[in-house]
């Protein structure tokens, strides 16, 4: 009999990536920028397989802000997918979207909180939402899988309707506990 980690079982995600992907299609997102992340793996896969979306792998998260800005200037909508540790890399670039009123939509998977095993993730995990808000980004936290798609739809739609920056932050508890295997 296989043992189930009770922390993992409690937070096992359902099909939120498919529902978020459908929302992104409905919002006519044409470009998706990301740094590879296990929390976004299924959503990334869906976006890469979607012929209506161009997926771009980034070397660092702030490149995603530049890509989203260029997409908007070229008449397209983009979304940037990142892990909470990447938010710290973006702080300086967020001044660009504030000063130029560029719509920016980010979906951030959390680390450094509920059930975290990696101490390197904790400092940024503790300050992700506060850092985004201090940089002028409207932040919407999702703790329950069933709220993910609706929150993404409202937040990303608002970003493009109002030419502001938004981040939907997906909690680590919702995503499921990560642990090293080996």
Average pLDDT over residues 58-78: 97
Is residue 102 domain-resident? yes
Examine residue 181 and state whether it is found in any structural domain, yes or no.
Answer: no
Domains of the chain: total: 1
**Is 103 domain-assigned?**
yes
Whether the per-residue pLDDT at 8 is higher than 90: the answer is no
Q: Which CATH number covers residue 80?
A: 3.40.50.970
- Distance, in Å, from the CA atom of 103 to the CA atom of 54, rounded to the nearest integer, reads 18
Is residue 178 scored above 50 in pLDDT? yes
| pLDDT of 11 above 70 | no
Nearest to 108 by CA among 55, 53, 33: 33
- Is the pLDDT at 28 greater than 80, yes or no? yes
Residue 36 maps to a domain: yes
Q: Is residue 105 part of a domain?
A: yes
Tell me the C-alpha distance between 148 and 17, whole Å.
9
Q: pLDDT tens digits for 30-67?
A: 999 999 988 899 999 999 999 999 999 999 999 999 99
pLDDT at 63: 97
Determine the longest span between alpha carbons in the chain, in angstroms: 58
Classify 111 as helix, strand or coil: coil
Average pLDDT over residues 71-96: 95
The answer to whether position 57 is within a domain reads yes
Residue 182 lies in a domain: no
Rounded CA separation 37/109 (Å): 8
CB 164 within 8 A of CB 138: yes
Round to whole Å and give the CA distance between 106 and 166.
6
Contact 81, 32 (CB under 8 A): yes
Helix axes 41-49, 16-26, angle to 10 degrees: 40
Chain segment 93-151, per-residue pLDDT in tens: 999 999 999 999 999 998 767 776 666 777 677 889 999 999 999 999 999 999 999 99
Q: Residue 13 domain-assigned?
A: yes
3-state secondary structure of 176: coil
User: Residue 9: is its pLDDT beyond 60?
Assistant: no
pTM: 0.88
Token readout for 108 is: 């951030």
Strands (E), 88-164: 104-109, 138-142
What's the gap between Cα 6 and its chain centre? 26
Structural domain boundaries, residue 60: 6-175
Q: Once rounded to an integer, what is the mean pLDDT over residues 78-100?
A: 94
Instruction: In whole angstroms, give the CA distance from residue 138 to residue 50.
Output: 28
């Amino acid at each position: 009999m296989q043992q189930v980690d009770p922390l993992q079982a409690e937070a096992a995600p359902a099909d939120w990536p498919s529902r978020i992907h459908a929302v992104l299609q409905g919002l006519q997102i044409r470009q998706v920028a990301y740094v590879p992340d296990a929390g976004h793996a299924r959503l990334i896969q869906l976006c890469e397989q979607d012929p209506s979306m161009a997926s771009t792998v980034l070397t660092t998260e702030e490149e995603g802000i530049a890509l989203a800005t260029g997409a908007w200037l070229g008449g397209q909508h983009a979304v940037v997918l990142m892990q909470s540790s990447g938010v710290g890399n973006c702080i300086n670039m967020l001044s660009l979207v504030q000063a130029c009123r560029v719509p920016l939509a980010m979906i951030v998977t959390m680390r450094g909180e509920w059930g975290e095993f990696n101490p390197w993730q904790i400092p940024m995990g503790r300050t992700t939402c506060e850092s985004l808000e201090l940089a002028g980004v409207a932040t919407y936290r999702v703790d329950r899988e069933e709220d993910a798609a609706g929150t993404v739809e409202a937040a990303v739609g608002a970003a493009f309707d109002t030419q502001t920056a938004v981040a939907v932050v997906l909690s680590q508890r919702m995503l499921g506990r990560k642990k090293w295997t080996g």
